[in-house]
Structure 1
Amino acid sequence: MSLTGSPRPADSNRAFGPKGADDIASTASTAPDGKPHHDEVDVIVDAWASVRPGLDTTPLEVLSRISRIARRLDQARNAVFTEHELDGWEFDVMSALRRAGEPFELSPGALVQKTLVTSGTMTNRVDGLERRGFVSRQPSPSDRRGVLVRLTPAGLRAVDAAFDALLHHERRLLAGMDDDARAHLAASLRTLLTAVES
């Protein structure tokens, strides 16, 4: 992945955005009546209830929280990639190659499918990764005119190091949940994602 050029976080908590993980966990807001809210979504839902009392705002209870979590995760992941001098799109391409197993290679078409970008965008991304020495183009043994994109040893080291750091940060985000709670949440989110994607 390429250098982002953005400044590195001052400390590990910066990977969680403007506030550290502990700050986020302890943050609470207060309503006008003095009763504490658990999070900002409660504030939003209560505000809508006060101006539109007959409106069913229950979807916000789930989807607004998912939206806010997604923004926090983007901040966390971008910070991790920046620490490893990578861009997110570079990690996406290299991790797709890494997951393919040895010899860590895929066709450009397979990479397009796995990363959900256009073929033109993928060509540019492979060019950039090749310039950095993270991937190489190899002739396809089954198609004389085709090529395969292969992860180099340098690319393998880079993607593994970034992924290890990413998992470390994301374990911290989930540290307040026990195994059963995480499994239940994963199952619920799987059900929701299946419904949304269908």
Structure 2
Amino acid sequence: MRPDLEPGSWPDAQSPSVALCGEIMRLAVKIRRRAETILARHHLTLSEFECLVALRLSPDGAAITPTELYERILISSGGLTKVMSHLQDRGLILRVPSPTDRRSRMLELTEEGAALVLRAMRAIREDHDSLMEQADLTEEEIAGFFRFRDKLMNVAG
């Protein structure tokens, strides 16, 4: 074995911060995979689900612009266009004329889209609830996680 690859030979990679951030990323991947498995049963990708959720959370179910949707989710603008087209082709969203600008379109959920995102969200919530129960997390531990998360989010950029 090369001496520079032996355990303990790379001190820059051995710190509590590197270990913690690495574990956070691994946990996020595991939770994401669980969600993707559940969403696949509903014939949705994670990006499609995020779009439907963002539309569902729109105040009073009001239509929103593609730009507003883009700002609410983690996806590139090109990726969003593809996702919107797919959701529209499936009858889950509508592109409707803007009441204030004839040149632009707004996005809104169809009844079918609203029903699907509700079913998918319930399945995700049940899985997350089960995960918390299996991990035997207390309310105090969950609250502590959010305090920890807030501290990191405030400085992570």
TM-score range, shorter chain: 0.7 to 0.9
SS in 1 for 2:61: coil
Structure 1 residue 64, shift from structure 2 partner: 1.8
Letter in 1 for 2:18: L
Alpha-carbon offset, residue 62 of structure 1: 1.6
Moved over 3 A (4+): 50-56, 116-120
Equivalent in 28, 32, 35 of residue 77 of structure 1: 35
Q: Distance in 2 between matches of 1:155 and 1:138?
A: 15
Within 2, Cα distance between the matches of 1:86 and 1:54? 41
Aligned equivalent of 1:126: 84
112-121 or 138-147: bigger deviation: 112-121
Specify the alignment match of 2:117 in structure 1. 159
Count of residue pairs brought into register by the alignment: 150
Q: Provide TM-score, normalisation by structure 2.
A: 0.86
Counterparts of 1:78-157 in structure 2, within 5 Å, are: 78-157=36-115
Structure 2 CA distance for aligned equivalents of residues 55 and 85 of structure 1:
40
- What does residue 139 of structure 2 align with? 179
Cα distance in 1 for partners of 2:22, 2:77 equals 33
Q: What's the CA shift string for 1:98-149, capped at 9, x where partnerless?
A: 0113234210111111124343332222111011000011111111111111
**SS of equivalent residue, structure 2 residue 30:** helix
Render the CA deviation track for 1:173-196: whole Å, top value 9, x for unaligned: 222110011001111011112211
The secondary structure found in structure 1 opposite 2:104 is strand
Q: CA deviation at 1:53?
A: 7.1
TM-score normalised according to structure 1 size: 0.69
Separation in 1 of the partners of 2:12 and 2:79?
47
TM-fit CA distance, 1:57: 1.3
> Residue 120 and residue 75 in structure 1: after superposition, are their counterparts in 2 closer, same or farther (change >3 A)?
closer
Do the aligned partners of 2:47 and 2:75 also contact (CA within 8 Å) in 1? no
User: Does the CA-based 8 Å contact 2:56-2:109 persist in structure 1?
Assistant: yes
CA-based RMSD of the aligned residues comes to 2.0
Q: Distance in 2 between matches of 1:121 and 1:154?
A: 22
> If each structure's strand is expressed as a fraction of its own residues, which one has the higher value?
1
Residues in 2 aligned to 1:194 and 1:177: alpha-carbon distance in whole angstroms: 24
